Amino acid sequence: MAKQSKAEKDILLAVHETANDLYSAGFIDKKKMLKYDALCLEPIPNYDAIQIRELRDRYKLSQSVFASLLNTSPSTVKKWEVGEKHPSGPSRKLLNILERKGLEALI
């Protein structure tokens, strides 16, 4: 997924704010509001082998501890770091949280 530009973020924020007002006034239902909420989420970046290793090194974690933190196996972390595999789904989300908010957010 491509990173959103400032203009795109501003537009989505304005649309979301309008949708929220419409939801509060009863003009749109909760299901539709959840779609607007999802639309405004930041895209989760892909992580390559170098980024994963740098993130692990930043917090001075072994592959085993890092794997435990991400609820995966040490062999998976090793494969990520040599480029044999790439994190997906929940692992990408947890890596993103770790990158943005730090180790304390996952402990």
* pLDDT score recorded for residue 3: 65
Mean pLDDT per segment of 10 residues, for the chain of length 107 residues?
74 89 93 87 90 96 96 96 95 95 91
Long-range pairs for 95-98: beta carbons < 8 A, 24 or more residues apart: 95/47, 95/52, 95/55, 95/70, 96/44, 96/45, 98/55, 98/59, 98/69, 98/70
| pLDDT score for 1 | 45
Question: Cα(first)–Cα(last) distance of the chain, in Å?
Answer: 28
For residue 2, the model assigns a pLDDT of 55
As its CATH architecture, domain 49-105 has Orthogonal Bundle (1.10)
User: What number of CA atoms fall less than 13 Å from residue 60's CA on the CB side?
Assistant: 0
- Residue range 8-34, pLDDT digits in tens: 888 888 988 999 999 999 999 999 999
CATH 1.10.260.40 segments of the chain: 49-105
